[in-house]
Amino acid sequence: MRRAVGTTLVALAAIVVASPAHAHLVETGFGAFYDGIAHFAVSLADMLIVIALALFAGLRGTRAARHAMFALPAAWLVGGALGALWPTASIWPVSTTLSLALTGALVALDAKLSDASVTAFVIVAGALYGFVNGATMTPGGAGGLALLGAVCAIFFVNTILAAEVTVLPVGWPRIAVRVAGSWIAATGMLMLGWLARPTLA
């Protein structure tokens, strides 16, 4: 009991002297690779398009999901490398938002595209977002290793999600995926309004 009281007192003392936590190693960092992973994890735009593409490929079946599993990260990496070469290029917000809304709509409609079409769509969307990633990350000091980290995270999320969707039974689970697609489409459509508003103001 005495030992427990002692432990408690030490713990309380430690709590009293607790200083603001410098969480996520903002001062030292984990390194460029993990910065890339973190960049993807906290970028809702990137996360949403990867989720949408994974849902889309997953709904179209195992073959399409397998193709997308490699096509998306590869396209993202190539696009990112090109974007890193032209870091001052426009980030094309209308194009990326349109592709987000379109992907969401394809999921919501459960569009019956061929495997080749799904792969082509995934490559175009992945390259577009990758280009924007490369163009925006490079001026911030993130290099190729950070891009590789982001691409690895994309591969991970896309593979897990698409694989889960391919095995969903017909009925409510697949309907839930389509509802999620409609939400992404609606979000993209509202974003288009936000993008257009300042130009008209």
Partner 1 sequence: MNTHRPWKLSVAGWAALLLFAPATVLAHQEIGQITGFASGFLHPISGFDHVLAMVAVGLWGAVLGSPAIWVLPVAFPVTMAFGGLMGLLGVPLPGIEIGIAASAIVLGIMVLAQLRPPLWAAAILVAFFAIFHGYAHGKELPEGASALLYSFGFVVATGLLHLVGILLGEAHRWAVGRQAVRAAGGGVALAGLFFLWQAVAA
Binding site for partner 1 (CB under 8 A): 1, 3-4, 7-8, 10-12, 14-15, 18-21, 23-24, 26, 38, 42, 44-45, 48, 105, 108, 175, 178-179, 182-183, 185-187, 189-197, 200
Question: Strand, coil or helix: what is 138?
Answer: coil
Decide whether 18 or 88 has the Cβ nearer to partner 1: 18
Count CB-CB contacts under 10 A for residue 54.
28
Widest Cα–Cα separation across the chain: 72
Nearest-angstrom CA–CA distance, 30 and 51: 25
The answer to whether 52 and 179 are in contact (CB under 8 A) is: no
Decide whether 8 or 114 has the Cβ nearer to partner 1: 8
> Residue 184 CB, nearest distance to partner 1 (Å)?
8
CA angle 133, 137, 139 (to 5 degrees): 135
- Can you say how many angstroms the Cα of residue 88 is from the centroid of all Cα atoms in its chain? 22
Structure tokens at 127: 């390259």
> Residue 17 CB, nearest distance to partner 1 (Å)?
10
Decide whether 3 or 88 has the Cβ nearer to partner 1: 3
Decide whether 136 or 159 has the Cβ nearer to partner 1: 136
> Residue 73 CB, nearest distance to partner 1 (Å)?
22
Taking CA atoms, 100 is separated from 2, 19, 53, 63, 176, in Å, by: 62, 42, 9, 22, 18
> Residue 24 CB, nearest distance to partner 1 (Å)?
4
Decide whether 88 or 200 has the Cβ nearer to partner 1: 200
> Residue 115 CB, nearest distance to partner 1 (Å)?
25
Half-sphere exposure of 118 (CA within 13 A, CB side): 28
